[in-house]
Amino acid sequence: MSQHTTTQDAPGYPAEYAERYRAAGYWRGETFGQMLRDRAAAHPDRTAIVDPGPEPGGEGRRAWTYGELDARADRLAAGFLEHGITKGDRVVLQLPNTAEFFEVVFALFRIGALPVFALPAHRESEIRHFCAFTEAVAYVIPDVEAGFDHRALASKIRAEVDTLRHVFVVGDPGEHTALRDVAREPVEITDGPRPDDLAFLQLSGGSTGVPKLIPRTHDDYIYSLWGSNELCAVDEHSVYLCALPAAHNFPLSSPGTLGALYAGARVVLAPRPSPDVAFPLIEREGVTITGLVPPLALVWTEAAAATPHDLSTLDVLLVGGAKFSEEAARRVTPALGCRLQQVFGMAEGLVNYTRLDDPYETVVTTQGRPISPDDEIRVVDDEDNDLPAGGTGHLLTRGPYTIRGYWRAPEHNATAFTADGFYRTGDIVRRTETGHLVVEGRAKDQINRGGEKVAAEEIENHILAHPSVHDAAVVSMPDDYLGERTCAYVVLREGADPVKSLAIKKFVRERGLASYKVPDRVEFVEEFPQTGIGKVSKKDLRAAIAARLAPAQH
Ligand code: OOB
């Protein structure tokens, strides 16, 4: 049944490729449910997950062994089945970095229901879309997180989305169902997912009006995990600190929490990524490896100089999600006493790492090379012609863990992929003689706000809903800390009452958007600069705002 759904909802891997990836040993024929079962059988008493609680160092530290996580996933799977959740169903998951995240995810994996990985920052607009578009049957939330009551939002969405039958709450359920009341005696699941079935839907950073959903299979994702483990030296002795939001592809799989669990290692969850929380955790839990976006890596390198905490167990720091400048990269090892590994990945698949034995210059000046010998890389010009070696152009890729199409998006797929299945990443890269990629820019209409992706069109649509707005164009502006921030250029309607930039920001926020998507700056103009063929020239707008922000030159 799910096979059928899979092929109908998203283009899968063509049979000849699937055979090749299996024959090469990349796809091992494993599922996540079985993977956890195997680890729990091999070392039931080893610690899998450490959740220090919302205030690390205080009460409330929980440590679940592999045996316990496995048993919990079984019981919760039985409870989900009793609630009518079955194979192929979608469940929107919006949990912070807590142990329950893994309990829920593995319970769903066992059934073959698909988690849809929302981020904690998402709000009404995004959540409504995920629930409605995926026809989700359930939504899993914390009660109150970072001052936001997710239960009230869930009530609203549930009233609007017919398919949404259940809201499961970690903590005080209010009018919904407490997750802790769902577990049942384990039942045998006879028609669980196959290795080539979909495991979950990840979110794309995107450049379109609404985020696209990324269908990943057990086979393909598990390959990206063990492939990453080999390159990042993750083994059963590793302790991975999940500092970024657990649902994001980077901390989930590069090598991330799931990679660590695959290796039989230990996962430590940080409620927040700031040094005041993470450094004591590193010391107390003996963390060996973690992943950060560039702005956080900078904060950590600065904070390390004055910290009383012993960070000597930290062996590898992965930095990715946005371009890490060479200058910043050079600070990591002296400041933190650990090795740096750059990672340039995407939820659609392809992940590149600098290797731990690469020359230092390569580590600080490139974004790495692909995990797999069968990751096909093309660097092309605007007409899809392959560029000569060393040329800078569009990165296209195809391979054993890169999707062949988004979920239920045939029209978008027609342009986001080439006819022969290469994914158009929207990144502008150069390939060095050693096959390492250097990210030189971006062709997609997206702002990379320190690793958090903002699709210009999505924000423009929200601004355009304002009654006084005639037109809007959202572009990036340079920022010392985040690398980029968002600037919204706005043309007001003729005769409209004057509007202040704060009012535009407030308007966007009140439409229920993740706060990182609210424009950092709003500029009002009479008209937009145009390109030769009469389109808005975002290039000129970017240059204009960059010039305005640049310190006065003498
Ligand atoms: C990761 O995944 P996404 O899906 O949030 O974003 C992917 C995009 C890439 O296409 C690229 O534009 C940008 O993020 N990006 C980088 C980068 N890493 C990602 N740009 C420059 N330098 C880098 N090192 O961001 C992601 C997924 C898995 C591992 C790491 C990051």
Task: Find the mean pLDDT for residues 200-222.
Answer: 94
Mutate to test the pocket of ligand 1, among 201, 257, 346, 453 (most ligand atoms within 8 A of CB): 346
The answer on 362 and 235 residing in a single domain is yes
Is there a domain that residue 228 lies in? yes
pLDDT at 501: 96
**384 and 284 within one domain:** yes
The domain boundary, picked from 387, 403, 431, lies at 431
What is the model's pLDDT at position 8? Answer: 82
- For the chain, give the number of residues: 554
pLDDT at 107 over 70: yes
Q: Per the domain annotation, does 6 fall within a domain?
A: no
- Do 448 and 198 meet the contact criterion of CB atoms below 8 Å apart? no
CA of 425 relative to ligand 1 center, distance in Å: 10
pTM: 0.97
Residues 127 and 236 in one domain: yes
Verify that 38 and 102 share a domain, yes or no: yes
**Is pLDDT at 109 greater than 90 in this prediction?**
yes
How many A from CA of 346 to the centre of ligand 1?
A: 5
User: Which residues form ligand 1's pocket by a CB distance below 6 Å?
Assistant: 205, 249-250, 254, 320-323, 342-347, 351, 367, 425, 427, 439, 442, 448, 453
Spacing, Cα 256 to ligand 1 middle (Å): 14
Cα of 427 from ligand 1 centre, angstroms: 9
- Mean of the pLDDT values across residues 372-391? 98
CA-proximal residue: ligand 1, atom 22 (nearest)? 323
Give yes or no: residues 409 and 450 share one domain.
Answer: no
Atom of ligand 1 nearest to the CA of 253: 28
User: Which atom of ligand 1 is found nearest the CA of 442?
Assistant: 12
Could you say which of 431, 462, 484 is where a domain stops?
431
Same-domain check for residues 349 and 473: no
> How confident is the prediction for the chain on average, in pLDDT?
96
- Among residues 385, 405, 431, which one ends one of the domains? 431
Q: Is 437 domain-assigned?
A: no
Of 138, 137, 74, nearest to 106 by C-alpha is: 74
What are the tokens at 176? 């919904």
Q: Which residue has the tokens 């919990």?
A: 72
Task: Say if residue 463 is in the same domain as residue 417.
Answer: no
pLDDT in tens, 163-189: 999 999 999 999 999 999 999 999 999
CB neighbours (10 Å) of residue 490? 24
| pLDDT attached to residue 502 | 97
Q: CATH code at 494?
A: 3.30.300.30
> In this structure, which residue's CA is closest to atom 16 in ligand 1?
322
164 in a domain, yes or no? yes
For residue 252, is it within any domain? yes
Token duo for residue 173: 């359920």
Quote the ligand 1 centre to 58 CA distance (angstroms): 34
Structural domain containing residue 509: 445-549
Residue 4's pLDDT is 37
Distance 483 CA to ligand 1 centre (A): 13
Q: How far apart are the first and last CA of the chain?
A: 69
Q: Which of 468, 514, 475 is nearest to 492 (CA)?
A: 468
Mean pLDDT across the stretch 259-265?
A: 99
Question: Measuring CA to CA, which residue among 342, 282, 291, 285 is closest to residue 314?
Answer: 282
- Residue 240: partners with Cβ closer than 8 Å, 6 or more residues away: 234, 255, 256, 257, 259, 260, 265, 266, 267, 268, 287, 288, 289, 290
CA of 312 to the centre of ligand 1 (A): 28
In the predicted model, what is the mean pLDDT of residues 97-120? 98
pLDDT digits (tens, 9 = 90+) for 483-533: 999 999 999 999 998 999 999 999 999 999 999 999 999 999 999 999 999
User: Could you tell me if 415 and 489 lie in one domain?
Assistant: no
**Nearest residue CA, atom 21 of ligand 1?**
323
In a domain, 420, yes or no: yes
- Looking at the fold, whether 279 and 401 belong to one and the same domain comes out as yes
Average pLDDT of the segment spanning 291-309: 97
Residue 243 and residue 163 share a domain: yes
Structure tokens at 35: 């993977």
Q: Are 452 and 419 in a shared domain?
A: no
Query: For residue 74, what is the domain's CATH number?
Result: 3.40.50.12780
- Looking at the structure, tell me whether residues 246 and 339 fall in a common domain: yes
What is the DSSP pairing of strand 114-117 with strand 316-320?
A: unpaired
Count of structural domains within the chain = 2
Give the pLDDT of residue 57.
86
